[in-house]
Amino acid sequence: MKKQDRKKTAAYLSLAMVFIFSFALLYSYVFRFNTSDYQAHIRHSLRGEGYSIMSVMIRFCNKISGGNILILILMALFTMASVVAAALFIRSLLAQMNLKMDVYSLIPVSATLLFICKIAIPEWSTFYYQDSYASQPWHNSTYTLMRLFGTLVIMMYFLMRKEYLKKLDWKDCLLFSVFLLLTNLSKPNFLLSFAPVMLLVLIKDFVATKGRSFKNAFLFGLCVLVTASVLLLQYNENFPSDGDAGGIAFSISNAIDFVMKDKKILLHMVLNYLFPLYVTYLYLKKRKKAEPFMKTLMSETWLMNLLSLFTYFFIIETGSRRADGNFGWGTPFFAYLLFIVCGCILYKMKKMKLVSEEEYITAKHIYAAHIIFGLAYFFLLLLGYLSWGI
């Protein structure tokens, strides 16, 4: 068998395994164990409730199939598609760093990203999902959609980010807008951490070019403003003027509660982000030799991640949705993004001989630890453990 054929075989097998195992878990969620958000999502959607595009999909699939199997197949396909999206994103980042790698080679690697998990060392941190900020959720349908479309948004953003001052292609703008619209229709959390960083970039470039970038910056930003309009509809759906629906508030006491409930919060942070933290340490040692795009990637991705943590700690819903923790959904996605970016930067530094073989192997072992614990978490879910209880 030729090398390219082996790559294709490995890619197709990886996708097939992702589909089979994700479908098996989703089936157990809906028909065996009430240990996820799926039963609630389906129930609310069939009653005509729900703020996301997921609710429309559930009603449509239920109507044409007379049951829930079709939606489970669709969600397994979306999970599989997120693997392909991650592979395309990684290829795009590597290409912008003058490294070539085909998608087939990247699909098995991107499949492992689904299992990113906090390193749950006994005595230090016994939980896989509790006290977690990076562990990838399996129990929420709208998060699965946000991860897929959000990955494509970030891919388009960094593609356009590099050249938008010189040229802004209308096809890129259209793709960026469509992916962002679909992301916002899935979950609003993405925009809360992404839009402020993009705004800072546009302002910085506007100042640096003494206003000459205004036209392209305005058009680039307009893509976000247009698609963000759906958030107003979602707000009205979630917080109607009548009843005890509540609203959105800034809360210092919420952040204090996090610290009081989790006495080892700093340790848990390290165990969540050990791989990106180690890669960032290696990067900072050689930062002066890094290419400009590497600096852009590292700084903007970390900033998005920190903003997702800020919204989780300090922004709350009031009223009947107070205990739902919905402002926490951005943290696993931007941790997912951070792992991807740090992996690409690590590979580039290896090619530039900015890291030693021992440092590179250490980083790979740390990444493997995250994935091993993620696989353990996944199989516990298959056995019926409560998704957010372990």
Q: Do 53 and 145 contact (CB within 8 A), yes or no?
A: yes
Q: Is the pLDDT of residue 185 over 60?
A: yes
Mean pLDDT of the chain: 91
Mapped onto helix, strand or coil, the DSSP state of residue 52 is coil
Give 215-230 pLDDT, tens digit per residue. 899 999 999 988 887 8
Residue with the bigger pLDDT between 236 and 118: it is: 118
Task: Determine which of 32-46, 121-135, 259-273 has the lowest per-residue pLDDT on average.
Answer: 121-135
Q: How far is residue 162's CA from residue 52's CA, in Å, rounded to a whole number?
A: 32
Residue 211's CB is within 10 A of a number of other CB atoms, namely 10
Q: Do 187 and 142 contact (CB within 8 A), yes or no?
A: yes
Question: pLDDT grade, residue 9 (50/70/90)?
Answer: very high
Buried b (16+ CB within 10 A) or exposed e, 307-322: bbbbbbbbbbbeeebe
Give 348-376 pLDDT, tens digit per residue. 999 999 999 999 999 999 999 999 999 99
Q: Is the pLDDT of residue 241 over 70?
A: no
Q: Is the pLDDT of residue 242 over 70?
A: no
Q: How far is residue 351's CA from residue 153's CA, in Å, rounded to a whole number?
A: 27
Give 315-352 pLDDT, tens digit per residue. 888 766 666 667 889 999 999 999 999 999 999 999 99
Q: Residue 22: name the closest of 62, 61, 75 by CA.
A: 75
Say how far residue 16 (Cα) sits from the centre of its chain. 22
Question: What pTM value is reported for the model?
Answer: 0.94
Q: How far is residue 126's CA from residue 137's CA, in Å, rounded to a whole number?
A: 17
Say how far residue 273 (Cα) sits from the centre of its chain. 14
DSSP β-ladder status, 315-317 and 248-250: antiparallel
Q: Do 76 and 64 contact (CB within 8 A), yes or no?
A: no
Residue 6's CB is within 10 A of a number of other CB atoms, namely 12
- Write phi, then psi, for 61 (nearest 5 degrees): -65, -40
Question: pLDDT grade, residue 5 (50/70/90)?
Answer: confident
Residue with the bigger pLDDT between 240 and 37: it is: 37
For a pLDDT cut of 70, what percent of the chain falls above it? 95
Give 278-317 pLDDT, tens digit per residue. 999 999 999 999 999 999 999 999 999 999 999 999 988 8
Mean pLDDT of 205-219: 89
* Residue 249, strand partner residues: 316
H or E element, residue 210: none
- Write phi, then psi, for 132 (nearest 5 degrees): -115, 145
DSSP annotation string for 241-274 = SSSS---EEE-HHHHHHHHHH-TTHHHHHHHHSH
Q: Residue 333: name the closest of 151, 186, 142, 128 by CA.
A: 151
Residue 176's CB is within 10 A of a number of other CB atoms, namely 22
